[in-house]
């Protein structure tokens, strides 16, 4: 199972380090990172393997969301299925 973590906000030093530290803490293994632009904002997309997640998905998602709030970023963590459902027939 994979989670899609999106980080939206102003680009700043250490974003990848901050988010990946949190992922490591929860046992999520980042397999891919890309960067893009969404509505003039910096958007980083991380794909993480969550088979070895140490907490439940909601707790992991909340932890990332809280991390975002503390760093002025918008961090979302969503199960990959929603993207597959919407964009693949």
Partner 1 sequence: MINTQDILETINMIREENLDVRTVTMGISLYDCVSDDVDKLCANIYDKLMTKAKDLVPTANEIEKLYGIPIVNKRVSVTPISYIGGKAGPDDYIKIAKTLDRAASDLGINFIGGYSALVQKGMTRGADALIESIPDALAETGMVCSSVNVGSTRAGINMDAVARMGRTVKAAAAKTADRDAIGCAKLVVFANAVDDNPFMAGAFHGTGEGDCVINVGVSGPGVVEKAIRRAGDCDFSALADVIKKTAFKITRVGQLVAYEASKRLDVPYGIVDLSLAPTPAIGDSVACILESMGLEVCGGPGTTAALAMLNDAVKKGGVMASSHVGGLSGAFIPVSEDAGMIAAAESGVLTLEKLEAMTAVCSVGLDMICIPGDTSAETISGIIADEIAIGMVNNKTTAVRVIPAPGKGVGEKVEFGGLLGYAPVMRVNPVSCEKFIARGGRIPAPIHSLKN
Q: In what order do the strands lie in the sheet with 74-79?
A: 29-38, 41-49, 2-9, 74-79
Size of the site for partner 1 (CB under 8 A): 27
Instruction: Determine if 19 is a binding residue for partner 1 (CB under 8 A).
Output: no
Distance in Å, CB of 66 to partner 1, minimum: 13
Q: Select from 23, 84, 83, 9 the least CA-distant residue to 57.
A: 23
Instruction: Determine if 40 is a binding residue for partner 1 (CB under 8 A).
Output: no
8, 38 contact by CB (below 8 A) = yes
Instruction: Determine if 79 is a binding residue for partner 1 (CB under 8 A).
Output: yes
Q: Quick one: which of 24, 25, 54, 62 contacts partner 1 (CB under 8 A)?
A: 62
């Amino acid at each position: 199972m994979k989670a899609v973590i999106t980080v939206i906000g102003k680009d700043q030093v250490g974003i990848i380090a901050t988010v990946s530290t949190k992922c490591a803490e929860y046992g999520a293994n980042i397999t891919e990172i890309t960067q893009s632009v969404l509505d003039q904002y910096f958007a980083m997309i991380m794909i993480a393997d969550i088979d070895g997640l140490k907490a439940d998905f909601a707790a992991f998602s909340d932890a990332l969301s809280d991390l975002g709030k503390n760093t002025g970023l918008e961090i979302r963590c969503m199960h990959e299925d929603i993207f597959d459902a919407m964009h693949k027939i």
